[in-house]
Structure 1
Amino acid sequence: MSRVLVIESSARKEGSVSRQLTADFIGQWQAANPQDQIQVRDLAVEQVPHLDIDLLSGWMKPADQQNEVEKAAAARSNLLTDELLAADVLVLAAPMYNFAIPSTLKSWLDHVLRAGVTFKYTETGPQGLLTGKRAYVLTARGGVYSGSAMDHQEPYLRQALAFVGIHDVTFIHAEGLNMGAEFLEKGLAQAREQLAKVA
């Protein structure tokens, strides 16, 4: 049995293509792997604050020296990190906002990319501690940006995931969604064709 952690980051509840892709992924995965556990964390519903002084202070102090706000911030980070540590498969649903990922997803990453927990520093540089996990990134893009210098989404997420040791990463892009009906239909069809091969 595998544990699948799905992170939703679209700010839209209705008409969200990334949410449609997530629903397709979950349905296909459950059909092929009925014994697996799937957990969904929706960052639009359960918002994760941006990295701030309280969280940084909480990380830097022993538990008995933290104030109540720092304890709450550290506990939130611990919860999110524990979910990631427990997962065998990570699914990131990431619409492209202004050529990059939503700030909500960046906030989640800031809570779980933690020295000594998900990566460590060594004499030869940082080393990821989450080896053996797989990741799938489902993106929705108004234009066509794959391989373009304007794509600050895939390169960043690849680097962030590799930094914590997740190198088996598959990107599934639904592109051209705002370029007319033909591009929309083609983009969705291509993404769903790739999704069908995943489970």
Structure 2
Amino acid sequence: MSNLLYVTCNVRPLEQSRTLTLGNEFLKEYQRWNPQDEIEIIDLYRDSIQRVDQDLLNAWERTEHGEAYVPFSDEERRKMSRIWRLAEQFARCDKLIFVTHSLNLWFPAEFKMYIDTICVLGRTYCLTPHGAEKTVPDRHRKSLHLHADQPFSFGHEPHQSVPYLRSMLNFFGVIDQQTVLLEGDMLQQGTDEAYETARHRVLKIAHRF
């Protein structure tokens, strides 16, 4: 049995989002082929994600300097417990699904907040003389990123979302990565042919994911 983590970051309702619609189809097809697997779902617009604030920075700074024995305040411990829970959830899951869209060449802020909660000193990485190194156990992990770029350009500037997530997953040892791209998340954006091509690929991936 595998553990699958399904993360969405989209404020639109399902019926108005092409990525959420495809992600939902993937999930249903995956469950049909893997009924025994455990699936955990995070909606970054619905679920409470702890943002980095002064309490967290104070706690992280003490941990980074080897002062973890100094007791956290009640507020620091409450906030650290929230990010520890998300970091440990990410670390234990074998399969990762991210359903996202671009906003001004990047992810919405809620997705960056989530990345900050799983990249946690002492939980998913440690500091060495050579820099940061992951502490997630080595094992075969895989990911699927279903993502919609905005359907217009910002001059000649490239969208940054996909390469950023790919880099973070590489750091955590998730080498088996697949990406399915759409041009625009709204129903009227992109062509029907491109959408059906993406849909066919997503359902095909679900069979063997």
Q: TM-score range by the shorter chain?
A: 0.7 to 0.9
Please name the residue that 2:141 is paired with.
Answer: 133
Residue 26 of structure 2 aligns to a residue whose secondary structure is: helix
- Counterpart-to-counterpart distance in 2, 1:186 and 1:126: 43
Deviation at 1:142, TM superposition (A): 3.1
Residue 181 of structure 2 corresponds to residue 173 of structure 1: yes
Q: Which runs of 5+ in 1 are unaligned?
A: none
Q: 1:167 to 1:121 in 2, by over 3 A?
A: farther
Q: 1:176 to 1:43 in 2, by over 3 A?
A: closer
- Counterpart-to-counterpart distance in 1, 2:13 and 2:159: 24
Please name the residue that 1:196 is paired with.
Answer: 203
Q: 1:186 to 1:149 in 2, by over 3 A?
A: farther
Residue 96 of structure 2 corresponds to residue 90 of structure 1: yes
Please name the residue that 2:85 is paired with.
Answer: 79
Residue 169 of structure 1 aligns to a residue whose secondary structure is: strand
Deviation at 1:69, TM superposition (A): 1.3
State how 1:20-169 maps to structure 2 within 5 Å. Answer: 20-59=21-60, 60=62, 62=68, 65-130=71-136, 131=138, 132-143=140-151, 149-169=157-177
For residues 117-168 of structure 1, the C-alpha deviation after alignment (integer angstroms, 9 at most, x for no partner) is 21233344433333421111111233277xx842101111111111222221
Identity %: 25
Q: 1:68 to 1:125 in 2, by over 3 A?
A: closer
Residue 135 of structure 1 aligns to a residue whose secondary structure is: strand
8 Å Cα contact 2:19-2:185 kept in structure 1? no
Count the aligned residue pairs.
196
8 Å Cα contact 1:177-1:184 kept in structure 2? no
Aligned AA for 1:92?
F
Please name the residue that 1:2 is paired with.
Answer: 2
CA RMSD of aligned residues (A): 2.3
Residue 65 of structure 1 aligns to a residue whose secondary structure is: coil
Q: Which runs of 5+ in 2 are unaligned?
A: none
The alignment's TM-score, normalised by the length of structure 1, stands at 0.87
8 Å Cα contact 1:63-1:71 kept in structure 2? no
- Counterpart-to-counterpart distance in 2, 1:108 and 1:41: 10
* Greater alpha carbon shift after TM alignment, 54-63 vs 153-162: 54-63
Determine which structure has greater relative contact order: mean sequence separation of CA pairs < 8 Å that are 6+ residues apart, divided by chain length: 2
Deviation at 1:10, TM superposition (A): 0.6
Aligned AA for 2:201?
Q
Q: 1:56 to 1:98 in 2, by over 3 A?
A: same
